Chain A
Amino acid sequence: MSAVWRAARAGVRRRRVQTFVIGLVVLLSTTTIVVALALLAATSAPFERSFARQAGPHAIAVFDPAVVSPDQWAGLASPGVAAAAGPFSAVTLQPAERVGPGPRGPVTVVGRADPGGPVDRLDLWQGRWPAAPGEIVLNEPVHELFQDPGTITLDGTAYTIVGRAHALSGSADAWMTPAQVTALGPDAVQMLYRFTGDVSTTTAVEARLADATAGLPTGALEAAQPYQVVRDRIAADVAVYVPFLGSFGVLGLVVGIVIVGNVVSGAVVSGYRHIGILKALGFTPRQVVAVYLLMVSVPAAVGCLLGTAAGSFAAQPLLRDGFQGMGLDPGVGVDVWSLLAGLVGVPATVVLAALVPALRAHRLSAAEAISAGSAPRLGRATRVQHRLAGLRVPRAVSLGLGLPFARPGRTAFTVVAVLLGVTTVTFATGLTDTLVRVSAIEERSDGQVAVQPSNGLIRLTPDGVPPPAGPPVTTSRTDAEVSDLLRGLPSAARVAALYRLPVTAVGQTEALDVNFMRGDYATMGLADELTAGRWMAGPGETVVPSELMRERGLALGDRITLRLGGAQRDLTVVGTLMDGPNGPPGILADWAVLDGLDPGRVVPPHEVRYQVQLVDGGDVAAYVRAVQAADPGLDAWDTAQVSDMLLTLVGFSSTLALLLSAVAALGVFNTVMLNVRERRRDLGTLKSIGMTPRQVVTMVLASTLVVGVAGGVLGIPLGMLAHRVIMPATAGASQVALPAAVLSVWQLPTLVLLALAGVVIALLGALVPARGAARLTIASVLHNE
C-alpha cells in the first residue's frame, strides 16, 4: 500500500497544474450542483417542508369560549389526533390606522406561553417571547425590513413589540402572554391539531376534525381552517419560480457532472504513459488503478468539501430572496440531500469517471499503455487532418482544426460543456430580456407618476418610502378638477383616471371588478399588454386580464352585461391583457359606460387613481413635487420601481449563468491542457521546423474554435427553446398570459453575440494552455520524450 501511496503522491506533485484544475473544477462543479439541487429541492414542496419543520397544524379550530368550558378539553384524546396544542385564548383587536408596514385591519391576538410545543412551533426570528403584560410578538415572515422593534396600538392601547415570529399556518397575527389575553377578555378559544392518517384533502381534514371535536357541545366549533388554504396560496406563489429554478437546476447538474467526468477521466487517460511505466516497474494492475484513483481523489476531496460549503453559502441568499418573502422560513435553505449530493454524489462521480479509464489501463499491457499515452492515431482523425491540410487557410489554423478529432470522446464532452454553458447564457439573457420588457410594459401602462388623493386617514407612498410628516389632508378639488390640475402642470403629456368598482354582471355569481377609465388611457401603453385580440374601439367594448378570462370562463367575443342600479350596459370582450392595471384583476371599461349606468354618480376623488405620463425627457421628481405643492391633499409618486421578483430571477439566472460559464471554460482549459500535454512532442517538432509562438497559439486556439462554434451553434437553439417553453409555463403558473412582444426577444445582433459567447468561453479556457504551449522549451520536450 505504501508504494501505491508514494507513487500517487509523486504523481500529484509532478502534475501540480492538473491537480489544481481537478480540485478547482470539482469545487466549482460541486458549488453549481449544490446550488442547483438546493434550488430544485426548494421548488419541490417548499411549503410541505417548512410546514413539517414547524409541525404546522392540519387544522386550526376556533371555539366559542362561552360554550366550551376549560375542563372539557381534558377528555378529548381522540385516536386520530397525533398532536394537539391549546386551548389558546384569542382576542380580536382593532389597530389604529397605521402608516408604514404592519397589520391593517383586525388583528387576532393569541395568548401563548411559549413559541414551541408539539404543534405550530413558531420561528421566533427576532427578539424574544412576551413575558409581561404590554408586550407583543407579531407574526411576520423573516424580512430585513422590519428591523426596529417599536410599538403597535391596538384598541387604543400601545404594546411594545418585543419580537417577531413566523407561523406558516397563520394561526395568529400576534401573540401575547396568556394572562394578558385573558385580561383583555378573549372572544375565542383556539385548538391546533395534527392528525394521523390521511390529511390530503380538505374533506379528510374536516372529517378528522369532526372526530376530534365529537365530544364537545354542538355549536362549540365556530370556525375551522384546514392547512390546504395556506398551502394553496403559497403553492401558487412558488409555482412562478419552479420552471426557472428547475431548468437552471437541471442545467447546473448536468454541466457539473459532465465536466467532472471529463476532467477526471482526461487526467487518467493522459496518465496512461505513466501507468505503463508503473506497470513496467512491477506495479500490479490493481495497484495502478489504486494509484490513479488516489491521484484524483485527493484534489477531488478537497474540491468537494470546499464546493459543498461554497454551494450552501451561495444558495442561501438566492433562496432567502426567493422564498422568505412568501413566508417560507429560511429553513428552506440548503437541504440535507443537496449537501449529501455534494459530499457523496460528486465524489462518486469522480471515482466513477476515474474508474472507467483506469480499468481500461488495468487491462493494457505496459507497452500498450506507454504508446496510448501520446495522442491516439485514429483513422478518422488522420482523414480529417489530410482534408484540412489542403484547406486554403494558414497551416497553423488547419492543424489546429484537426486536433479535436484525435480525441473525439474528450472533444464531445467539452462541446457538451460549452453547449450547456451557452444554453444557460442564452436562456438567462432571454429571461432577463423578457422580464425587463414585461416590467417596462407594466411601468408604462401604470403611467410614470401615480397620483392618489388622500382620504384624510392615511397617506400613500410607494413601498419603502416613509410617508410625509404631518396629518393627512384631503383635497378640496373634485375628481374632474384633479384631472385638470394634473393636465395643467408642466411636462404632463397624458393623464388618465381610473376608478375601480365592483359591478354585478349578468350570469356571473360574483361581482366583476370594473376599471372605469377616462382620459388618455388608450394611448398610455396598456395596449402593449394585449396577449390576444385587439384594443377597445369604443365604449361598447372591453379588454380583460388573462387571469380573469380564465377565472370567469370568458372568451374573446363574449358579451358581458353590467348592471348598476336599474340600468344595464353590454360590453363585448375584444382583447385579453397580460394583467391589466395595478390591483386585483378587473375588466377595462370607458368612463362613459359608468356615466351611462349611473348618470348622477359623484365619484369622490380619493377613490380615483390618476396616472400621468410626461413629455419626453420630463422630470418625474419635479412633477411629483409640483403636484404636492399645488395640492397637499394629493399623494403623488414615481411608479418606477424594480420588482423583487425581477431582481430575484435575474439574480438567480445571472449567478448560475456565470457559474456554468466558468465551469465550462475550466472544462475547455482542462481539455486543451491535456491535448497540449499529449501533443508536446509534436509541438516540439513543429517548433523545431520554425513554427512561431504566435502560430502555436493560433493552432491551439483554432482547435478550441471547433468546440466553441459547435457549442455555440447547438447551445443557442437549445437556450431559445428553453426560453420559448419555460417563459409561458412560468407565466401560466402565475395565471397570466404574455404578449408575444415580450417573448420575441431574439434579434440577429443578440444571437451573434450569444454565438460569440461560446467562442469566448472556449477561447478564454484555451488561452492559458495555448500560451503555455507556445512557451514550451523545445529542447527539453525533445530531450524528455
Chain B
Amino acid sequence: MTTVVRLDNVRKEYGDTTALAGVSLEVRSGEAVAVMGPSGCGKSTLLNMIAGLDRPTSGSVHVHDEDLGRLNETKLALFRRHRIGMIFQFFNLLDDLPALDNVALAAQLTGSRVDTARQRALELLDELGIADRRNVYPAALSGGERQRVAVARALMNRPGLLLADEPTGALDSRAGEQVMDLLLDLNQIGQTLVIVTHDERLATRCASRVVSLADGRVAGERALERA
C-alpha cells in the first residue's frame, strides 16, 4: 500500500500557543483514519497542515509524494484543487449560490466549462440523494443536506484524499448518521479518508485506525476492526 500522507515531526506555533508539538504520522492509501482528542489539542491544525491550508513552523508534510513545504501559494492551491477534498463542521458553502453551483464551482475553478461542471455536480448530488435540492440556496437547506452538498463539492475533482473536520459536529444524530454512512461508503470504494472528530461512534463506524492527540502530540494509536 502506498503512503498518501507522511508528517515528520511537525510543529506549529501560533505566537505563544503550541498547537502541534512534533507530530509524525503516516496515512496509507485506502485507509480511513480518525483523529480524536480534547478540544484545543490541535486536531484542526493537523488537518490544515495536511491540506496545505497552513504551513508548519518546523517539520515536513508530504502528501502524494509532494513536499508541501516546497510549494508556493499557487502550487499549493493547485495541489488542494486536484488532490484534496475538504469537509468542514459548518459546511462553508457560498450562501449566494444554489446547491448545484456550489458543487460545480470546484470544477469551474479548474477551468471546466459550466455545462460540464453542472453535469458532474448533478450526478454527484444524485448519488448523494439530494438532486432534487439542486436549485435551493444553502440557507434553505437542512444541516444534513448542506453537509451532503459540501461532500459533493469535495468529491468534485476526484481527490485522492478526503479530509473532514468534525463533519457531524453541527448535525443532529439522524443527519450525522447519514453523513457517516456516506463517508463509510466512500472509503469502501477506496477513498482515503482523514476524519477529525469528537464522536467515538463516528470513529468506530468509519475509521480503520484512530489516532489520539493530546496537547499537540500523538498520544496513542489503535487499529479498529470494522464491521
Interface of A toward B, CB cutoff 8 Å: 377, 381-382, 385-386, 389-392, 394-396, 402, 406, 681-682, 684-695, 774-775, 777-780, 782-783
Q: Is the CB of A689 within 8 A of B54?
A: no
Query: Does any Cβ of A come within 8 Å of B213's Cβ?
Result: no
List CB contacts (< 8 Å) of B90-110 with chain A.
Answer: 92-98, 101, 104-106, 108-110
Q: How far is the CA of A780 from the CA of B153 in the complex (A)?
A: 22
Q: A382-B96, A389-B101, A402-B96 are in contact. Are A689 and B86 (CB under 8 A)?
A: yes
B70: which A residues are within 8 A, CB to CB?
A: none
Query: Does any Cβ of A come within 8 Å of B168's Cβ?
Result: no
Q: How far is the CA of A688 from the CA of B165 in the complex (A)?
A: 13
Q: How far is the CA of A782 from the CA of B79 in the complex (A)?
A: 19
Q: Is the CB of A390 within 8 A of B114?
A: yes
Q: Is the CB of B109 within 8 A of A396?
A: yes
Query: Does any Cβ of A come within 8 Å of B224's Cβ?
Result: no
A389 touches which of B84, B86, B104, B154 (Cβ 8 Å): B104
Query: Does any Cβ of A come within 8 Å of B141's Cβ?
Result: no
Q: A690-B82, A779-B54 are in contact. Are A391 and B114 (CB under 8 A)?
A: yes
List CB contacts (< 8 Å) of B40-54 with chain A.
Answer: 44-45, 48, 51, 53-54
5 closest cross-chain pairs (CB), A and B: A690-B81, A779-B54, A395-B108, A692-B77, A685-B92
Q: Which residue of A lies closest to B44 (CB)?
A: A783
A782: which B residues are within 8 A, CB to CB?
A: 53, 88, 92
A385 touches which of B44, B45, B96 (Cβ 8 Å): B96
Q: A688-B92, A689-B153, A693-B74 are in contact. Are A779 and B53 (CB under 8 A)?
A: yes
**Chain B proximity of A390: nearest CB distance (Å):** 5
Q: How far is the CA of A691 from the CA of B86 in the complex (A)?
A: 13
Q: How far is the CA of A782 from the CA of B110 in the complex (A)?
A: 22
6 further A-B contacts with Cβ under 8 Å, apart from A402-B96, A681-B92, A778-B53, are A381-B96, A382-B96, A382-B98, A682-B94, A689-B80, A778-B48
B44, B96, B98: most-surrounded residue (chain A CB, <10 A): B96
A693: which B residues are within 8 A, CB to CB?
A: 73-74, 77
Q: Is the CB of A386 within 8 A of B98?
A: yes
A394: which B residues are within 8 A, CB to CB?
A: 111
Q: Which residue of B lies closest to A687 (CB)?
A: B77
A381: which B residues are within 8 A, CB to CB?
A: 96
**Chain B proximity of A656: nearest CB distance (Å):** 39
**Chain B proximity of A523: nearest CB distance (Å):** 64
Q: How far is the CA of A394 from the CA of B114 in the complex (A)?
A: 10
Q: How far is the CA of A392 from the CA of B116 in the complex (A)?
A: 12
B104: which A residues are within 8 A, CB to CB?
A: 389
B54: which A residues are within 8 A, CB to CB?
A: 777-780
Query: Does any Cβ of A come within 8 Å of B201's Cβ?
Result: no
Q: Which residue of A lies closest to B111 (CB)?
A: A394
Q: Is the CB of A688 within 8 A of B97?
A: no
Q: Is the CB of B101 within 8 A of A779?
A: no
Interface of B toward A, CB cutoff 8 Å: 44-45, 48, 51, 53-54, 73-74, 77-82, 84, 86, 88, 92-98, 101, 104-106, 108-111, 113-114, 137, 139, 153-154, 157
Q: Is the CB of B51 within 8 A of A688?
A: yes
Q: Is the CB of A688 within 8 A of B80?
A: yes
A395 touches which of B79, B93, B109 (Cβ 8 Å): B109
- Could you show 15 A-B contacts with beta carbons less than 8 Å apart? A381-B96, A382-B96, A389-B97, A389-B105, A389-B108, A391-B114, A395-B109, A396-B109, A686-B94, A686-B105, A687-B53, A690-B79, A690-B106, A690-B110, A782-B53
Q: Which residue of B lies closest to A695 (CB)?
A: B109
A389: which B residues are within 8 A, CB to CB?
A: 97, 101, 104-105, 108, 114
Q: How far is the CA of A394 from the CA of B107 in the complex (A)?
A: 11
Q: Which residue of B lies closest to A779 (CB)?
A: B54
A687: which B residues are within 8 A, CB to CB?
A: 53, 77, 80
B77, B82, B154: most-surrounded residue (chain A CB, <10 A): B77
Q: Is the CB of B109 within 8 A of A691?
A: yes
**Chain B proximity of A458: nearest CB distance (Å):** 76
Q: Is the CB of A689 within 8 A of B74?
A: no
Q: A386-B101, A396-B109, A689-B81 are in contact. Are A377 and B74 (CB under 8 A)?
A: no
B77: which A residues are within 8 A, CB to CB?
A: 687, 690-693, 695
Q: How far is the CA of A779 from the CA of B73 in the complex (A)?
A: 13
Q: Is the CB of B73 within 8 A of A377?
A: no
Q: How far is the CA of A681 from the CA of B88 in the complex (A)?
A: 12
Q: Which residue of B lies closest to A403 (CB)?
A: B96
B45, B86, B93: most-surrounded residue (chain A CB, <10 A): B86
A778: which B residues are within 8 A, CB to CB?
A: 48, 53-54
B93: which A residues are within 8 A, CB to CB?
A: 685
A385: which B residues are within 8 A, CB to CB?
A: 96-97, 101
Q: How far is the CA of A395 from the CA of B139 in the complex (A)?
A: 22
Q: How far is the CA of A389 from the CA of B113 in the complex (A)?
A: 11
Q: How far is the CA of A694 from the CA of B111 in the complex (A)?
A: 14
Q: Is the CB of B80 within 8 A of A690?
A: yes
Q: Which residue of B lies closest to A692 (CB)?
A: B77
Q: Which residue of A lies closest to B81 (CB)?
A: A690
B80: which A residues are within 8 A, CB to CB?
A: 687-690
Q: Is the CB of B105 within 8 A of A689?
A: yes
Q: Which residue of A lies closest to B82 (CB)?
A: A690
A684: which B residues are within 8 A, CB to CB?
A: 92
Q: Which residue of B lies closest to A378 (CB)?
A: B96
**Chain A proximity of B44: nearest CB distance (Å):** 7
Q: How far is the CA of A377 from the CA of B97 in the complex (A)?
A: 10
Q: Is the CB of B111 within 8 A of A377?
A: no
Q: How far is the CA of A156 from the CA of B136 in the complex (A)?
A: 101
**Chain B proximity of A386: nearest CB distance (Å):** 6
B95: which A residues are within 8 A, CB to CB?
A: 377, 682
**Chain A proximity of B30: nearest CB distance (Å):** 23
Q: How far is the CA of A254 from the CA of B159 in the complex (A)?
A: 53
Q: How far is the CA of A385 from the CA of B84 in the complex (A)?
A: 26
Q: Is the CB of A690 within 8 A of B78?
A: yes
Q: A779-B48, A783-B44 are in contact. Are A395 and B92 (CB under 8 A)?
A: no
Q: Is the CB of A692 within 8 A of B78?
A: yes
Q: Which residue of B lies closest to A781 (CB)?
A: B53
**Chain A proximity of B128: nearest CB distance (Å):** 17
**Chain A proximity of B14: nearest CB distance (Å):** 8
A775: which B residues are within 8 A, CB to CB?
A: 73
**Chain A proximity of B161: nearest CB distance (Å):** 13
B96: which A residues are within 8 A, CB to CB?
A: 377, 381-382, 385, 402, 406
**Chain A proximity of B73: nearest CB distance (Å):** 5
Q: How far is the CA of A532 from the CA of B61 in the complex (A)?
A: 81
Q: Which residue of A lies closest to B97 (CB)?
A: A385
Q: How far is the CA of A690 from the CA of B106 in the complex (A)?
A: 8
A682: which B residues are within 8 A, CB to CB?
A: 94-95
Q: How far is the CA of A391 from the CA of B117 in the complex (A)?
A: 12
Q: Is the CB of A685 within 8 A of B73?
A: no
Q: How far is the CA of A392 from the CA of B153 in the complex (A)?
A: 20
